[in-house]
Amino acid sequence: MRKLPVTALRPGQIFTEPVYIQDNNLFVPAGIPVKKKDIDRLIKWGIDTVLTDGVAVSDAPSGTKDTLDTKSAPKGTEAKQNTSISLISLPSVMDNAPSYRTYTDLINKLGALFQNITDGLSVESRSIDGIAGRLLQAVREHRDQIVGYILGGEVANYPLAKSSVNTAILSTLIAMELRMPNHKILQVTTGALLHDIGMLKLPKDIVEKKGGLSETELSRIQAHPLYAYKMICKELLYPEEVGVIALQHHERWDGEGYPRRLAGEAIDLGARIVSVADAFEAMVCEKPYRNSMIGYQAMKNLLSDNARRFDPEVLKAFIKTMGIYPIGSIVLLNTGAIARVIEGHSDAPLRPKIRILVDEFGNAFNNDDGEIINLLQEKSMFIARAIDPKELTRGHE
């Protein structure tokens, strides 16, 4: 391979062969335009050269970022048409699958209950029990689809309820992976659904504030686990085992959390589970104060925790059940094709089962028409990197 100075790279360049960073780490596949932010990242990392057997054949045409161009694509990868990546969408959502209707219904029902609490109306625990039971059943019957909706679902209403349902789904999966008894799993599911209920006691302008919080505002935010515990045990009349999950879900493994600075196994196991699930959900779902993070990057952040915030065994169970590329992730393959992760392999987290969304020739597939490939069996194919769907649709809307 020949060396190419990073200073020679330009945004939009297309190479006839893959371009690599040192140690054979893929920088950009053949036929895919180079991005400015990727060049900036190389400069930031202090990387001076990249390696390739190919040549830059041309720049990507204006307005076709992240698509293959028929004039500039390498021989053998001619696109039948310049296919907009904005066609990427969650197939099961578009089909309004029963599992997605269940997912949205759970959010709407929990959101309505939260609204009743905000309005000072009475809410009975059996209504929440019904939601917890349905969620648990949905996770058991439609695990992969339900998990996929966390990254790909498009529910605009009831953001707190959506966050709570997502956290409950993930918490349930962790509890199952840890082989907890069924009644304990249900307690974790219920506690996860209610873990942030104390936020309903806080002023909306503080909860949705986009800028930094004052010390007083931060103190009020950090009081929400206490509010949640009281609401769960005193108003909804749940047992201590459920309330303590909400009370302790912001405690840290190293003892630097709140409200009581508990450490290690002094923290309830259910709370330790919800802590991991809540952190992942917060990273991948949009909040008023920041943009969402792709699932792969969120998993990398969790992996770098080093027993500071999370119980290492709980984190290990989460990674085993979710994989490095969580279900619903959009990924770029070494062939230049773009795919969605539809199923993970706990023993091979880097080689999940995928569905092709845009093939190496630029052909896009709607709904469930794309080929399903098990990367555990297709040894010649691998994931080059994860892709943020927003990054791909920018400029095509």
Read off the pLDDT band of 44 (50, 70, 90): confident
Average pLDDT on 64-83 reads: 35
Q: Any idea which of 142-156, 204-218, 310-324 has the lowest mean pLDDT?
A: 204-218
Contact of 196 with 228, CB cutoff 8 Å = yes
| Rg of the chain in Å (alpha carbons) | 23
Distance CA 15, CA 54 (A): 6
CA angle 244, 246, 249 (to 5 degrees): 100
Q: Give residue 24's pLDDT.
A: 56
Distance CA 355, CA 345 (A): 15
Q: What is the average pLDDT score of the chain?
A: 82
* Annotated domain spans of the chain: 2-82, 91-322, 330-393
DSSP per position, 125-157 = HHHHHHHHHHHHHHHHHSHHHHHHHHHH----S
What is the CATH number assigned to the segment(s) 91-322? Answer: 1.10.3210.10
Q: Give residue 174's pLDDT.
A: 97
Q: Which residues contact 299 (CB under 8 A, 6 or more apart)?
A: 280, 319, 322, 323, 324, 325, 326
Q: Give residue 217's pLDDT.
A: 80
Distance CA 65, CA 28 (A): 13
Residue 9: is its pLDDT beyond 80?
Answer: yes
According to DSSP, residue 3 is labeled E
Contact of 339 with 331, CB cutoff 8 Å = yes
Tokens 């590329």, located at residue: 325
Average pLDDT on 6-10 reads: 86
Average pLDDT on 50-74 reads: 50
Read off the pLDDT band of 96 (50, 70, 90): low
Average pLDDT on 347-355 reads: 88
Q: Give residue 11's pLDDT.
A: 86
Q: Give residue 290's pLDDT.
A: 56
Contact of 52 with 2, CB cutoff 8 Å = yes
Average pLDDT on 228-247 reads: 96
Q: Give residue 80's pLDDT.
A: 33
Read off the pLDDT band of 29 (50, 70, 90): confident
Q: Give residue 396's pLDDT.
A: 40
Straight-line distance from the first to the last Cα atom of the chain, in angstroms, rounded to the nearest whole number: 39
Convert the pLDDT of each residue in 165-191 to its tens digit. 999 999 999 999 999 999 999 999 999
> To the nearest whole percent, how much of the chain has pLDDT over 70?
82
Residue 310: is its pLDDT beyond 80?
Answer: yes
Whether the predicted model's global pTM rises above the 0.85 cut: no
Backbone dihedral region for residue 264 (phi beyond 0: left; psi -120 to 50: alpha; all else: beta)? left
Q: Give residue 390's pLDDT.
A: 64
Tokens 């002023």, located at residue: 203
The torsion angles phi and psi of 47, rounded to 5 degrees, stand at -90, 125
Average pLDDT on 249-258 reads: 96
Helix (H) or strand (E) holding 14: strand 13-15
Q: Give residue 92's pLDDT.
A: 44
Helical H segments across the chain, by residue range: 36-45, 91-94, 98-118, 125-141, 143-152, 159-177, 182-194, 204-207, 215-221, 224-230, 240-248, 269-284, 295-303, 312-322, 389-393
Q: Give residue 73's pLDDT.
A: 36
Average pLDDT on 259-270 reads: 97
Read off the pLDDT band of 93 (50, 70, 90): very low
Q: Give residue 57's pLDDT.
A: 62
Contact of 83 with 365, CB cutoff 8 Å = no
Residue 318: is its pLDDT beyond 90?
Answer: yes
Read off the pLDDT band of 241 (50, 70, 90): very high
Q: Give residue 115's pLDDT.
A: 94
Q: Give residue 113's pLDDT.
A: 95
Q: Does residue 5 have a cis peptide bond before it, meaning omega lies within 30 degrees of 0?
A: no
Q: Give residue 392's pLDDT.
A: 59
Distance CA 15, CA 222 (A): 51
Distance CA 71, CA 89 (A): 27
DSSP per position, 311-374 = -HHHHHHHHHHH-SS-TT-EEEETTS-EEEEEE--TT-TTS-EEEEEE-TTS-B--TT-SPEEE
Q: Give residue 135's pLDDT.
A: 97
Distance CA 199, CA 331 (A): 35
> To the nearest whole percent, how much of the chain has pLDDT over 90?
43
Q: CA dist 47 to 37, 43, 44, 316, Å?
A: 14, 6, 8, 32
Backbone dihedral region for residue 322 (phi beyond 0: left; psi -120 to 50: alpha; all else: beta)? alpha
Q: Give residue 160's pLDDT.
A: 93
**366 vs 309, which has greater pLDDT?**
309
Q: Any idea which of 43-52, 74-83, 130-139, 287-296 has the lowest mean pLDDT?
A: 74-83
